[in-house]
Amino acid sequence: MTQARYLCPACGTTLAADRPLWRCDCGSHLNLAPGEGLVRGEIETGDASLWRYRTALAMAGAPRVSLGEGWTPLVARDWDGATIRFKLESQMPTGSFKDRGTAVMLNHLLEVGVGPIHEDSSGNAGSSIATYAAAAGIPCRIFVPASAPRGKVVQIAASGASSASGCRASMKRSPLSLIRVAPSPRSASVASGAGSRPTMMAVG
Ligand SMILES: [Zn+2]
């Protein structure tokens, strides 16, 4: 099992991504270093989900939160005389391919003990992160623009939110323009200790 690593784009330092790190000692932000990928024999073919590729995802252990993400149907259809295969990502848990990255990110945050989450989203990422954060018991705030699709705003609220939205530019200055996603009741005991954790900020 490989381990995820951070790479500093300024000084080239690499660091194990096994603990909360806000930035490099040189002051730069950190990127995740490219992974090693995987070969066919490393695919867990008995797992009909995203986690069949867990070897390439460089997590320390098995996922703690999963909503059945991944392994969406691949359907062949004719398109102007050519056979095209469509990957039906609408079959993901929140209806968006964002669930792939969200599932890996939230499980990594659980491993390293990061939370709460503040997310700036036009809809799909916010809905996905709100849903997985509720399942993981990590408090979460979603910032959305006034133009965000109502369905996505409702979806975010369904994760335990009261909501408000505004102009995406102005909402970055206004604390009123946000959707607050409360931890789910069943995970309240997990979330109660989250206030002292570092905070994760994501943009998607
Ligand atoms: Zn550095």
> Tell me: the pLDDT tens digits for 124-166?
999 999 999 999 998 888 888 888 888 888 888 888 754 545 5
pLDDT in tens, 93-129: 999 999 999 999 999 999 999 888 888 888 899 999 9
Indicate the pLDDT class of residue 174, thresholds 50, 70 and 90.
very low
Predicted local distance difference test score (pLDDT) of residue 154? 87
Ligand 1 centroid to residue 14 C-alpha, Å: 8
Token code pair at residue 136: 């993981």
How much is the pLDDT for 39? 94
Per-residue pLDDT reduced to its tens digit, 27-52: 999 999 998 889 999 999 999 999 99
Q: CB within 8 A of 61, min separation 6: which ones?
A: 111
Instruction: Return the closest-CA partner of residue 23 out of 11, 34, 35.
Output: 11
- Cβ-proximal residues to 161 (8 Å cutoff; 6+ apart), any chain: 130, 142, 179, 180, 181, 182
Tally Cβ neighbours within 10 Å of residue 13.
Answer: 14
Tell how far the Cα of 21 is from the centroid of ligand 1, in angstroms.
12
For the chain, domains (ranges, CATH) are 5-57 (no CATH), 98-203 (3.40.50.1100)
Cα–Cα distances (Å) from 61 to 45, 74, 158, 160, in that order, read 18, 29, 30, 28
**74-79 and 31-32 as β-strands: parallel, antiparallel, unpaired?**
unpaired
* Residue 7 CA to ligand 1 centre (angstroms): 8
CA-to-CA distance for 137 and 185, rounded, in angstroms?
9
Q: What is the DSSP letter of 36?
A: -
Q: Determine the Cα–Cα distance for residues 148 and 43; give it in Å rounded to an integer.
A: 37
pLDDT at position 128: 94
Distance 149 CA to ligand 1 centre (A): 39
What average pLDDT does the chain have?
Answer: 81
pLDDT of residue 167: 44
Bridge partners of 78?
A: 83
Neighbours of ion ligand 1 (CB under 5 A): 8, 10-11, 13, 24, 26, 28
How far apart are the CA of 15 and the centre of ligand 1, in A?
10
Check whether 79 has a pLDDT greater than 50: yes
